[in-house]
Amino acid sequence: MAKMKDVAERAGVAESTVSHVINNTRFVTPATRERVLRVMSELNFHGNAHARRLARGHSDFLGLIISDIENPFFPGLIKSFESSALAGGFDILLCTTNYDAARAEAAFRKMIENKVPGVAVMTSRVDPSLASVLQRNDVASIFLDSGQVAERTSNIRIQYSQGAEQAVAYLHNLGHRDFAFIAGPGNRSSHAAYKSAVVGALEQLGLEARLIDGENSVASGERAVQKLLTSRKLPTAILASNDLTAIGALRAFHRAGIRVPADVSVVGADDIPFASLTNPSLTTVQIGNERLGELACQKLLGMLRDSDAASELVLPTELVIRESTALAAH
Amino acid sequence: MAKMKDVAERAGVAESTVSHVINNTRFVTPATRERVLRVMSELNFHGNAHARRLARGHSDFLGLIISDIENPFFPGLIKSFESSALAGGFDILLCTTNYDAARAEAAFRKMIENKVPGVAVMTSRVDPSLASVLQRNDVASIFLDSGQVAERTSNIRIQYSQGAEQAVAYLHNLGHRDFAFIAGPGNRSSHAAYKSAVVGALEQLGLEARLIDGENSVASGERAVQKLLTSRKLPTAILASNDLTAIGALRAFHRAGIRVPADVSVVGADDIPFASLTNPSLTTVQIGNERLGELACQKLLGMLRDSDAASELVLPTELVIRESTALAAH
């Protein structure tokens, strides 16, 4: 394998000059710089990942692709990702997809046009096959809840089972036997995974939940409760696919004069900032969004430094108990 | 003044080639392209703003500088700014300052390094003197609530007086005479302006408010109410510097067993998404954050197209009446 010395000899410069080109630590004339980069390429010299990026003209941006900045799960994630990136010497290039396939493709294209060395795709709605576009352009990537799709692709899997089991066991201990689950859109892998985790945790106790379709919004939580109110008997405990849905449920119960948690217990998922500010405050399965942003960025930085191989990471979840859950009403 | 024909003649190319260089509509060899750009510069030919940007090597990013992405006022602003930018053919480069002077300076530097043609500074905490750095680098800019600081700088002034007067008149009509105002940090011009508007509106009715210091956070709203609870008599109406503060006040009253709005009315400011979801939902002075993002981007695009001169725009505010206000308790 070629060494820095070989590059220096062939380019007719001092080793220190090669180092300055690689690390951008001193001014090198464009002609010399280009000669050094050409020789590095001829000798297939990639002393380190930074040199490789530089030789291929990568920028100092890390890409971050999310679905919707107005979803309160994301601002904390963006902030922690950005902090980690800044600490690692990178700025961030943020793109949103708004759950739109064409915008998602445009976001991936933008990452490549802007020569980012690595991208975190922190929405589970994006087709992981787009990862191959990044691969072809030598862009390291990390996806959320998509499985490891290729050699240079990492994945963060959210371990929903943990939090779901805690929530179900907690409610079971409070005497709840009649459950409903307001599901998120089935076409998002993360919500399908949370639904499976809740259903599985209930099955382990010989229970099952009434399933109601929702779409992760306040309005869909309100609609779901309106539907439940027409049934013969209310469930005593309701789990929702996310906090927005649970907040919608709280509002609909409040309007109907049904007391949470005296008459019915409600559990959300995510732990968005407002989950602790509702009246009553929301018991929820916490998905650490700040931890997620930090984890994604640290892994990406490790991959870029070649100190980390691509791999799958696991983000645990846990139940946070607040005021919206209590003993089952009988 | 030089015309496109003059540039074509002197560069020894067809006029269509000059047009292709300017509009990037067809491949032009680097040597020809450079010759055309040099001649454009020699003849001081700036057929349009886009040509000038191109000649000076501007990027296709519009910069957006905000303070804190976790402040729920900003996601809606970012989203609408981004939509307008995309429609105008630009991507956005988002930087956050986290209310830190060093990070604000870094954000301005980053805008210049990345050769953005225009920047919107949508936080009132940033020193508008940084505008001169943008000016020197031929970057168009628009600031929030900072006054028009230089020739190529626009400003959006939030017209707090309108919403403040509506809120005070509404409460006055409900019989309120005993007011408190929980103020935001005095060092942020926007909050000083809102405070003046509230105090001024009360003065017009021969009233004054007890002033309590806050810092635009849920916690500071809770603290302010705890302080009020130690006073001889509660005010009947409380106005808060922003919705987070008002939400803190709602929580503290809830905990103290004081009913909103039966015992005391509470009015926020901003109209963040959760203002309509609290129990009771929050009456508030709406500052249209989506309108603000759109207005800033449209103005910036107009300035870049040279169709708009730099100027001051006004964003009106208005009272949104929900459940947290009612007849004064006697």
For the domain covering B61-159+289-316, report its CATH number.
3.40.50.2300
Q: What is the pLDDT, as a whole number, of residue A187?
A: 65
Is there a shared CATH topology between the A61-158+289-316 domain and the A160-287 domain?
Answer: yes
Q: Could you say which architecture CATH assigns to the domain A61-158+289-316?
A: 3-Layer(aba) Sandwich (3.40)
Residues of A with CB under 8 A from a CB of B: 68-70, 72, 74-76, 78-79, 82, 91-96, 110, 218, 247, 250-251, 254, 273-274, 277-279
Q: What is the pLDDT, as a whole number, of residue B118?
A: 94
d(CA B323, CA B280): 5
d(CA A153, CA A133): 12
d(CA A138, CA A155): 17
The candidate with the shortest Cα–Cα distance to A188, out of A145, A221, A130, A148, is A145
Cβ neighbours of B77 in A, within 8 Å? none
Q: What is the pLDDT, as a whole number, of residue B34?
A: 79
Average confidence score pLDDT of chain B: 88
- State which amino acid sits at residue A311: S
CA angle A121, A122, A125 (to 5 degrees): 85
pLDDT over 90 (residue A323): yes
Would you state the structure tokens that stand for residue A97, as one six-digit string? 């997809």
Confidence of residue A310 (pLDDT cuts 50, 70, 90): confident
Confidence of residue B99 (pLDDT cuts 50, 70, 90): confident
Q: What is the pLDDT, as a whole number, of residue A137?
A: 84
Rg (CA), chain A: 25
- Closest residue of B to A254, CA-based? B279
Q: What is the pLDDT, as a whole number, of residue A49?
A: 45
Q: What is the mean pLDDT of residues A46-51?
A: 50
Cβ contact, residue pair A110, B94, below 8 Å:
no
Q: To the nearest 10°, the Cα dihedral for A78, A81, A86, A89?
A: -130
Cβ neighbours of B110 in A, within 8 Å? 91
Q: What is the pLDDT, as a whole number, of residue B241?
A: 96
Q: What is the pLDDT, as a whole number, of residue B49?
A: 45
Q: What is the pLDDT, as a whole number, of residue A264?
A: 98
Q: What is the pTM (predicted TM-score) of this model?
A: 0.81
Cβ neighbours of A91 in B, within 8 Å? 95, 110
d(CA B65, CA A21): 32
Q: What is the pLDDT, as a whole number, of residue B134?
A: 86
Give the mutation candidate from B60, B86, B94, B113 for the A interface (greatest A CB count, under 10 A).
B94
pLDDT over 60 (residue B274): yes
Nearest to A69 among B79, B96, B247 (CB): B79
For the domain covering B160-288, report its CATH number.
3.40.50.2300
CATH 1.10.260.40 fits A4-55, yes or no: yes
At B22-35, the pLDDT tens digits run 665 667 777 888 78
d(CA A219, CA B114): 41
Within 13 Å, how many C-alpha atoms sit on residue A208's CB side? Answer: 3
Dihedral pair phi/psi, residue B158, rounded to 5°: -85, 125
At A134-189, the pLDDT tens digits run 888 889 999 998 876 677 789 999 999 999 999 999 999 999 999 999 999 876 66
Average confidence score pLDDT of chain A: 88
Cβ neighbours of B75 in A, within 8 Å? 69-70, 72, 74-75
Cβ contact, residue pair A277, B251, below 8 Å:
yes
Which residue ranges make up each domain of chain B?
4-55, 61-159+289-316, 160-288
> A76 to chain B nearest CA, in Å?
6
- Of 3.40.50.2300, 3.40.190.10, 2.40.10.10, 3.90.870.40, the CATH number of A160-287 is 3.40.50.2300
DSSP one-letter code for A282: P
Would you state the structure tokens that stand for residue A53, as one six-digit string? 């990026």
Cβ neighbours of A75 in B, within 8 Å? 69-70, 72, 74-75
Would you state the structure tokens that stand for residue B167, as one six-digit string? 């809120």
Higher pLDDT, A131 or B325: B325
